[in-house]
Amino acid sequence: MSFIELNDVAKYWGDVKAVEKFNLEIEEGDFVVLLGPSGCGKSTTLRLIAGLESVSSGEIIIDGQNVNNLDPSLRNISMVFQSYALFPHLSVQENIIFGLKVRKVNKEDRETKLASVAEKVGLSKLLGRKPSELSGGQRQRVALARAIINENPICLMDEPLSNLDAKLRHQMRAEIRSLQKDLKITLVYVTHDQTEAMSMADKVVLMNEGEIVQQGKPKILYEEPENTFAAKFIGNPPMNLINLEFDNDNDENFIPIDDEKFFVNKKYVKKTILGIRPEDFEISKKGIKCKISDIDYQGADVVLSLKMGKQAIYARFESKIIDEISDHVFLTWDKKKSHYFDFESGIRDN
């Protein structure tokens, strides 16, 4: 039995579906990221686990106990909110020990814990300040400190880094990750940022329209997306999805290039979608001629916006090729790195 289990959980707002058919198992000490576009129900799922919302059907089990009707404070969780939810009139110190005071922890214990937590998140010198006197990153640390001081085994985070600038976000990612490993917390983390999800998670749960699209290790999601949604959502730029036409005479799929047919696969006997990651393209004289419409120079890499026939695609190369290209390139790719999806359902088919 897993540490946290969601069995067939659903949540409706009146007639509107927020979450449905939600089955998830989280092992103790795992870093699980709920990933998806805005409005996909990831925050609602987190709030269901927290107990801030109640499930419409299904059950949530934490540590072997059904918590459907259990008060949030009894679920052994802490939570970090997107807005941090710091109490504006209380000092940093009072914010951090708020929960300890509620639970009437004695003063000595409070001070010891406060000192150690403040040390961990680097707030020792700011304990007397008000939240309004802190920078965004410092407020984030206060929220983190408040979450870890209770030593709850489970921590829930709702887009905690979305209000920070890019550099700070990068740094906080690493810090949260190391705190989590350090304290052996089971962390459920909500984000819409796939880079964040891929770099932090032990397990990514990709959601769309209230349902799980795919779950697994980041590597699995990246290398074997189960459908076109997963393929398009993960990766930057996302996987190229090329619509193949079916040639009845040859029983073979092809990419239409102007009036020519570029045959790619004999295996499928109906219209199919071909998926190729931008970095899996190679430049070769034997390849398909693609017109360059834009060059996005990113330092080490360069991303080309291309036209393959009438379809727009992206390809990523080392930036040294930039001197060798003119207005077009010839592309091939390793057949083993091709992904195929059913044209109608979008489901993976290889």
Partner 1 sequence: MFKNNLSQVYAWLLITPALILMGLFTHIPSFTTLISSFFSTGTKKFPSKFIGFENYELALDDPIFLEAVLNNLWYAVATIIPSVFLAILMALFVDSKIKGRVLVRMAYFTPTILPMIAVSNIWLFFYTPEIGLIDQIAINLGFGSQNWLGDKETVLNCLILITIWKEAGFFMIFYLAALQNIPPELKEAAKIEGASKYYFFRRITFPLLMPITLFVVINATLNSFKLVDHLFILTKGGPDNASNLILYYIYESAFSFLDSSYAATLTVILLLILAIVSIVQFVLFDKRIHYR
Residue 237 gets the label, from left (phi > 0), alpha (psi -120 to 50) or beta, of beta
First to last CA, the chain: 32
User: Which one among 3, 12, 81, 262 touches partner 1, defined by CB under 8 A?
Assistant: 81
Of the listed pieces 6-14, 72-80, 133-141, 330-338, which binds partner 1 according to CB under 8 A?
72-80
CB of 131 to partner 1, least distance (A): 10
Of the listed pieces 83-91, 107-115, 169-177, 209-217, which binds partner 1 according to CB under 8 A?
83-91
Binding mask 218-257 for partner 1 (x = CB under 8 A): ----------------------------------------
Q: What residues from 96 to 125 belong to the interface with partner 1 (CB under 8 A)?
A: 98-99, 102-103
Q: Between 142 and 308, whose beta carbon lies closer to partner 1?
A: 142
CB of 108 to partner 1, least distance (A): 20
Q: Is 154 in contact with 185 (CB distance < 8 Å)?
A: yes
Could you check whether the bond before residue 153 is cis, i.e. omega within 30 degrees of 0?
Answer: no
Rounded distance between C-alpha atoms, residue 263 and residue 260, angstroms: 9
Q: Between 89 and 266, whose beta carbon lies closer to partner 1?
A: 89
Rounded distance between C-alpha atoms, residue 94 and residue 131, angstroms: 11
Going by C-beta distance under 8 Å and a sequence separation of 6 or more, which residues neighbour residue 323?
none
Going by C-beta distance under 8 Å and a sequence separation of 6 or more, which residues neighbour residue 101?
94, 110
Could you check whether the bond before residue 225 is cis, i.e. omega within 30 degrees of 0?
Answer: no
CB of 71 to partner 1, least distance (A): 8
Q: Between 83 and 112, whose beta carbon lies closer to partner 1?
A: 83
For the chain, state the CA radius of gyration: 24
CB of 183 to partner 1, least distance (A): 18
Can you state the percent helix, strand and coil of the chain, rounding each to 5?
Answer: 30, 35, 35
Q: Between 189 and 222, whose beta carbon lies closer to partner 1?
A: 189
Of the listed pieces 21-29, 65-73, 242-250, 272-280, which binds partner 1 according to CB under 8 A?
65-73
Which residue, chain included where needed, has tokens 């359902």? Answer: 345
Tokens of 196: 């964040």
User: Which one among 48, 79, 164, 190 touches partner 1, defined by CB under 8 A?
Assistant: 79
50 binds partner 1 (CB under 8 A): yes
130 binds partner 1 (CB under 8 A): yes
User: Which one among 39, 52, 263, 310 touches partner 1, defined by CB under 8 A?
Assistant: 52
69 binds partner 1 (CB under 8 A): no
Binding mask 132-151 for partner 1 (x = CB under 8 A): x-------------x---x-
Rounded distance between C-alpha atoms, residue 127 and residue 96, angstroms: 9
Query: Helices 107-121 and 136-148, interaxial angle, to 10°?
Result: 130
Tokens of 350: 């290889």
CB of 38 to partner 1, least distance (A): 18
Which residue, chain included where needed, has tokens 């000595």? Answer: 108
Binding site for partner 1 (CB under 8 A): 50-52, 71-74, 77-79, 81, 83, 85, 87-90, 98-99, 102-103, 130, 132, 146, 150
